[in-house]
Structure 1
Amino acid sequence: MAITLMEQEQKRLLKKFHTLLGKAGLGADEKEAILAGYGVESSKELTAYELLEACNQLDKMSNPKAAEMDKWRKRVIASIFSYFGALGLQSDMNRVKGTAARAARAETFNDIPLEQLRTLYSAFSKKAKTVEHVDIVTEDIINELKLLN
């Protein structure tokens, strides 16, 4: 009997789920509460997607610093996309991450420390707002000049 790729993934996630339960210090009662949230009594009844979701939540619980870093990385990405959008430039994830890494003088995007992520977020958010404000002012001046002609 051949095991499908999905079954292998579900098995891997099931193992990870139980490992993370232990790592987070959760006992049988907490496990039952988590499973009840999915409407099942056994972790084997969870789908691969549900296991992945549960593992992500448990990972955040057991490693709050990683969750905080992830949150700030997403904010930096959004602020740089916003900045490029304000400039009218097309961008993709590689360009955005590369821009952040260069701005932070880091080897890779994931090497940027938390404080620098916060600084980058603030800087690119301000730059995007400034560009948008300049566009509005410029448009107003152009409209005034059109009225004079």
Structure 2
Amino acid sequence: MTTTLMDQEQKRLLKKFHTLLAKAGVDAAGKEAILSGYGVESSKELTTYELLEVCNKLDKMINPKVAELDQWRKRVIASIFNYFGALGIRSDMNRVKGTAARAASVETFNDIPLEQLRAVYSAFTKKAKTVEQVNVVTEEYIKDIKLLN
């Protein structure tokens, strides 16, 4: 019997789930409460997606720094999408993450440390506001010129 990648991932996440439960100090009653939230009685009944979700929640509970990094990553992504939107450029997640990584001089998006995430967020937020202000001034100027003609 061959195992698929999803089966392997499911096994890996099951191990991670039980490891995180132990690290978080969650007892049997707590585990049952978590599982009942997903409508199952055993962790083996959870889907791969559900395991991933519950592992992420437990990870954030154990390590609040992870939650803060996640929050700043989302802010950076939003600020870069906003900047591209202000420029009238359509973009996708890969381009946005690549832009953030290049701006922070790192290999991949998830390698950006917290302080650089804050700096990149601030820079792109300011750039987007500047572009929007320039667009407003330019539109007013063009409107005034048209009135003179």
Q: TM-score range by the shorter chain?
A: 0.7 to 0.9
Instruction: Tell me which residue corresponds to 2:33.
Output: 33
Gap regions ≥5 residues in structure 2:
none
The AA in structure 2 aligned to 1:117 is L
Secondary structure of the equivalent of 1:41?
coil
1:55/1:86 CA distance change after superposition, 3 Å: same
> Identity rate of aligned residues, in percent?
79
Please provide the CA RMSD for this pair.
Answer: 2.2
Q: How many Å separate the matches in 1 of 2:87 and 2:19? A: 46
The AA in structure 1 aligned to 2:48 is A
Q: Report the Cα offset of residue 38 of structure 1.
A: 0.9
Q: How many Å separate the matches in 2 of 1:127 and 1:7? A: 45
- Count of aligned pairs: 149
Q: How many Å separate the matches in 2 of 1:101 and 1:51? A: 29
TM-score normalised per structure 2: 0.84
| Residue-by-residue CA offset, 1:101-144 (whole Å, 9 max, x unaligned) | 44334454433321221122122112101101210121111112
Instruction: Tell me which residue corresponds to 2:129.
Output: 129
The AA in structure 2 aligned to 1:54 is V
Q: Which region of structure 1 is more displaced relative to structure 2, 66-75 or 106-115? A: 106-115
Instruction: Tell me which residue corresponds to 1:114.
Output: 114
Instruction: Tell me which residue corresponds to 2:21.
Output: 21
Q: How many Å separate the matches in 1 of 2:129 and 2:144? A: 23
